[in-house]
Amino acid sequence: MTTMYAALLRGINVGGAKKVPMAELRALLTSLGHDRVSTYLQSGQAVFASDGDDAESLAAELSSAIEKRFGFTVDVLVRDHAYLKGIAQACPFPAADLEAKQLHVTYFSAPVAEERFAAIDRAGFLPEEFRLGDRALYLYAPEGLGRSKLAEALAKPRVNKGLTATTRNWNTVVKLVEMTAA
């Protein structure tokens, strides 16, 4: 059975480092045998159809192909439409009432427990807030991610140790749900 997936590439095309042109990423995914390949923006989102049913294997395959093609390592998370839709629907913040720049989702490679964030003084960052979901963290940052002190604290290596984590704004979260629905 064919499934629609989104590949989330971490840290490409940022500040001139790890350049991966989207046309080449689409060609690479096609060469791996995937269909209905498309990309969204330049910041590392690709959508594709695959008969493969193991998202982690698909992510490893794409990461390896990127390293062979471009000569550098890129962390890749692959998530199917059902997961992406579930994340959007489970948002604990009033997404419809917020600007997209105020709401972000960090996708993790594995489940995360509250204990991982115990050292973060949540009250000290208000009105910024975060909530955990299924291998995801929802971040409400009223002034945007670039000005968020809470986002800085959440990005510390001790918080994310042993995980691949990549963050997308709410517009991208919604767009990936739409793109993988096809």
Q: Check whether residue 94 and residue 163 sit in a common domain.
A: yes
φ and ψ at residue 97, rounded to 5 degrees: -95, -5
Domain boundary among 83, 100, 131: 83
Asked whether residue 180 is assigned to any structural domain, the reply reads no
Q: What is the pLDDT of residues 71-127, one digit of tens each?
A: 999 999 999 999 999 999 999 999 999 998 999 999 999 999 999 999 999 999 999
**177, part of any domain:** no
Q: Would you state the pLDDT for residue 158? A: 78
Question: Do 58 and 99 fall into the same domain?
Answer: no
CA 9, CA 6: separation in Å to the nearest integer?
10
Residues 15 and 72 in one domain: yes
pLDDT for 1 equals: 81
Q: Does position 160 have pLDDT exceeding 90, yes or no?
A: no
How many domains are contained in the chain?
A: 2
Domain co-membership, 163 together with 113: yes
CATH number at residue 117: 3.30.70
Confidence of residue 138 (pLDDT cuts 50, 70, 90): very high
Contacts of 121 (CB under 8 A, 6+ apart): none
78 and 10 within one domain: yes
Does 42 map to a domain?
A: yes
Residue 23: pLDDT band (50, 70, 90) is very high
Give residue 182's pLDDT.
72
**Predicted pLDDT at 3:** 96
- In this predicted structure, the answer to whether residue 13 has a pLDDT above a threshold of 80 is no
105, part of any domain: yes
Quick check: is 178 in a domain?
Answer: no
Interatomic CA distance for residues 142 and 6, integer angstroms: 27
Q: 3 pairs with which residues across the strands?
A: 50
Domain boundary among 26, 59, 83: 83
Q: Please say which residue of 29, 49, 83 terminates a domain.
A: 83
Going by C-beta distance under 8 Å and a sequence separation of 6 or more, which residues neighbour residue 82?
none
pLDDT for the residue 36: 97
pTM here?
0.93
Identify the pLDDT of residue 41.
84
% the chain with pLDDT above 70 = 99
Q: Which pLDDT score, from 0 to 100, does residue 141 have?
A: 97
Task: Give the pLDDT band (50/70/90) at residue 44.
Answer: confident
Instruction: Assess whether 116 and 44 both reside in one domain.
Output: no
What domain range is 165 assigned to?
A: 90-169
Residues 61 and 44 in one domain: yes
Q: Which amino acid is at 38?
A: S
Question: Could you tell me if 26 and 76 lie in one domain?
Answer: yes
CATH of the domain at 36: 3.30.70.1280
DSSP-assigned letter for residue 179: H
Q: How confident is the model at residue 11 (pLDDT cuts 50, 70, 90)?
A: confident
Q: Is residue 175 part of a domain?
A: no
Tell whether 57 is covered by a domain: yes
78 and 24 in a common domain = yes
